[in-house]
Amino acid sequence: MSGKVKCAIIGSGNIGTDLMIKVMRTSKNLEMGAMVGIDPNSDGLARAARLGVPVTHEGIDGLLKLPNYKDIKIVFDATSAGAHVHNNALLQKDGKKVIDLTPAAIGPFTIPVINGDANIDEPNVNMVTCGGQATIPMVYAVKRASKRVLYGEIVASISSKSAGPGTRANIDEFTETTSKAIEVLGGAERGKAIIILNPAEPPLMMRDTVFTLSQGGDREAIEASILEMEAEVQKYVKGYRLKQKVQFEVIGDNAPVRIPGIGLATGLKTTILLEVEGAAHYLPAYAGNLDIMTSAALVTADHWAAKFLTKEHA
């Protein structure tokens, strides 16, 4: 016995492969039990096999047939929103803990620095999206220093090279899921999300812009909350940082803005400019979108595994 919890990753693309390497190099409580894909020629499956991880190219059906499937407690799903619905139904029948890295959002939204272990006992938790993991903590930072956040908008710009076929197939779900999570977790009354796939060469680092319109908070308190949140996220994503000083603009009665569902509104506009540099475990450092997603998923799973191991040894 290794004293660790076995996990499997479904999806041998960019996100799944990066997550596998993180599990093997940095996890305190997890060890790889299987890497699952549908392309027998994928780099992720080949890399897993070289590292001694059991592999299958037969998708969820292949996972269920693996000899060690019964020993796997946690399954990360890094496929697509549509595939996750099917995968989760089968995994729940066998009592597996599912960490959803797709925008399917079957389980509750989870961002470590916002709701941490609140959903730790849920059978399925959703990691929102890469853009959500990077930006929603900042919407929440404004909210906790204000009485009201009427509007939160995020623009996530990532390198085209860091967006695999799974990400590209889920663009609509990305915007819908992230927009909803801006409201549910970020605390904004209305949320909007935009993603940009940037084809620039050389590839650009992940950049995120967060706009909020709030009421009942002063600039000093909001900026202090934002800086504190930056430090909190950096505990598991070292390359997460403010790119510029926080910017403020008063939206007064002479030039109110119109917010859908709310109407004309005034308040304090806050602009937060972020950069996310990846740890380069699989793709280069410009792929911060992968790093923040897989790091958040690993933190969440590691905490659950620690609780599971404590109970098992009690």
Show which residues are catalytic.
Answer: 130
How far is it, in rounded angstroms, from Cα 152 to Cα 140?
10
Residue 88, helix vs strand vs coil: helix
Q: 242-278 burial, b for 16+ CB within 10 Å, e for fewer?
A: beeebeeeebeeeeeeebeeeeebbbbbbebbbbbbb
Q: Output the six-digit token pair for 101.
A: 């890295």
Residue 148, helix vs strand vs coil: strand
How far is it, in rounded angstroms, from Cα 91 to Cα 32?
17
CB of 277 closer than 8 Å to CB of 205: yes
- Quote the Cα angle for 114-190-146, to 5°: 55
What does each C-alpha distance from 169 to 151, 163, 251 come to in angstroms?
27, 10, 38
CA 151 to chain centre: 21
Which stretches of the chain are assigned E, i.e. beta strand? 5-10, 30-36, 55-56, 72-77, 97-100, 124-126, 148-159, 188-198, 206-215, 240-242, 247-251, 257-259, 263-265, 267-276
Which residue(s) pair with 142 in the sheet? none
Q: Output the six-digit token pair for 73.
A: 């407690």
